[in-house]
C-alpha cells in the first residue's frame, strides 16, 4: 500500500478529539461528487493539495459542523491512500450518527464531471484502503456505496458498479473475504464488580484486555473514573453492534464476558 500519513500531506489538526470506534461492519466507498480535473491522473504532485482542499472545505462547512476531513481515507488516481481520520476513528461522511458508527468512509478522487472513471491504480488503492481498515481498524467484510442506506448518488455510477461487482482488484476475481478471526473465550468472571474506586487484580486483567482491543486505558489495577468511562463507551458500542449491555460503566459478568467474546466488527 502506498500510504500517505496526515503529516506527509500536511493535514490541519482536528478541532476536537475524534470519536473512538472499536470496529465497524465494513467500509463505504465515496466520490467527491463535484468536478474533478480530467488531467489529474497525469500529475500526482497535485493530489496532496487536493486532499488539503477537501479538508479545508469540510472544516469551513458550518452546516455539517465537521471537526476534520470527514473521510477515513482518500485515494488518488495514482493509487496512493491518504490518511484522513484514520483507523479506529468514527467517520463523519456517511450521513448520520449510526451510519458513521457502522462503516468507515473511503473517498476516491473522481467526481460527477471531468474525471468520472476510476483508474486501475485507484481501484488497487481502494482495495488497499479497505484491507488496511480490515487489518488494523477492526472493519468487517462489508464493502458498500455511500448510497446504500442514505439518499445520495454517491459514489457515482462507475464506482458503484465496481462495488456491486464485489470490489475486485483490476484483472482479478472478486476478493474473497477472510474468515472472521477466532475470538478468545477469556478468563472466568472473577466475582468482583468493577466500579469507580475499585482496586483489584481483576481490574488490571480487564484493563489489559481493553488495551489489547485498542481502547485508550491505563493498566494499573485501579478502576477509577477513566476506566469507568471506557467501560460505559464499550457497553454502548456493544449495544450498537447487537450485544445489548447496560451502559452503566460497571464491569459485571455480562460486560466481562463481552470484553473477550464480542467480535471486533
- Average pLDDT, stretch 121-150? 94
Are 28 and 104 in contact, with CB atoms under 8 Å apart?
yes
Residue 265, pLDDT score: 47
pLDDT tens track for 66-123: 999 999 999 999 999 999 999 999 999 999 888 999 999 999 999 999 999 999 999 9
Residue 264, pLDDT score: 61
Which of 182, 102, 99 has the alpha carbon at shortest distance from 141?
Answer: 102
Which of 179, 142, 171, 175 has the alpha carbon at shortest distance from 29?
Answer: 142
Question: How would residue 176 be classed by pLDDT, with cut points 50, 70 and 90?
Answer: very low
Which of 142, 34, 112, 31 has the alpha carbon at shortest distance from 77?
Answer: 31
Q: Rg of the chain over CA atoms, in angstroms?
A: 20
Determine phi and psi for 150, rounding to 5 degrees.
-145, 140
Q: Indicate whether 184 pLDDT > 80.
A: no
CATH tag, 2-164: 3.40.80.10
Residue 179, pLDDT score: 47
- Average pLDDT, stretch 233-255? 88
Question: How would residue 149 be classed by pLDDT, with cut points 50, 70 and 90?
Answer: confident
Stated pTM of the model = 0.67
Q: Indicate whether 181 pLDDT > 60.
A: no
- Domain spans of the chain, in order of start: 2-164, 198-261
Estimate to the nearest angstrom the gap between the alpha carbon of 219 and the chain centroid. 25
| Segments in 31-108 forming alpha helices (H) | 47-60, 97-102
pLDDT tens track for 10-69: 999 999 989 999 889 999 999 999 999 999 999 999 999 999 999 999 999 988 899 999
Residue 98, pLDDT score: 87
Strand ranges in the chain using DSSP code E only, listed in sequence order:
2-4, 24-31, 35-36, 73-75, 80-83, 103-108, 113-114, 139-145, 198-199, 222-223
Amino acid at each position: 500500500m502506498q500510504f500517505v500519513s496526515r503529516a506527509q500531506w500536511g493535514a490541519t489538526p482536528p478541532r476536537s478529539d475524534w470519536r473512538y470506534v472499536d470496529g465497524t461492519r465494513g467500509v463505504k466507498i465515496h466520490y467527491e461528487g463535484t468536478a474533478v480535473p480530467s488531467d489529474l491522473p497525469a500529475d500526482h504532485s497535485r493530489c496532496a493539495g487536493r486532499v488539503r482542499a477537501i479538508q479545508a472545505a469540510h472544516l469551513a462547512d458550518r452546516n455539517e459542523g465537521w471537526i476534520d476531513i470527514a473521510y477515513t481515507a482518500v485515494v488518488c488516481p495514482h493509487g496512493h491512500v491518504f490518511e484522513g481520520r484514520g483507523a479506529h476513528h468514527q467517520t463523519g461522511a456517511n450521513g448520520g450518527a449510526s451510519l458513521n458508527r457502522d462503516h468507515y468512509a473511503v473517498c476516491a478522487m473522481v467526481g460527477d464531471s471531468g474525471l468520472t472513471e476510476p483508474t486501475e491504480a485507484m481501484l488497487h488503492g481502494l482495495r488497499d484502503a479497505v484491507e488496511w481498515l480490515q487489518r488494523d481498524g477492526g472493519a468487517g467484510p462489508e464493502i458498500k456505496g455511500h448510497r446504500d442506506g442514505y439518499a445520495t448518488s454517491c459514489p457515482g455510477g462507475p464506482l458503484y458498479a465496481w462495488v456491486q461487482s464485489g470490489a475486485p482488484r483490476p484483472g482479478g476475481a472478486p476478493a474473497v473475504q477472510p474468515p472472521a478471526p477466532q475470538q478468545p473465550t477469556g478468563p472466568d468472571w472473577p466475582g468482583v464488580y468493577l466500579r469507580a474506586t475499585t482496586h483489584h487484580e481483576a481490574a488490571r486483567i480487564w484493563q489489559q484486555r481493553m488495551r489489547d482491543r485498542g481502547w485508550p486505558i491505563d493498566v494499573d489495577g485501579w478502576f477509577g473514573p477513566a476506566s469507568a468511562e471506557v467501560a460505559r463507551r464499550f457497553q454502548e458500542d456493544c449495544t450498537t453492534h447487537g450485544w445489548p449491555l447496560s451502559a452503566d460503566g460497571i464491569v459485571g459478568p455480562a460486560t466481562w464476558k463481552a470484553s473477550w467474546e464480542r467480535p471486533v466488527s
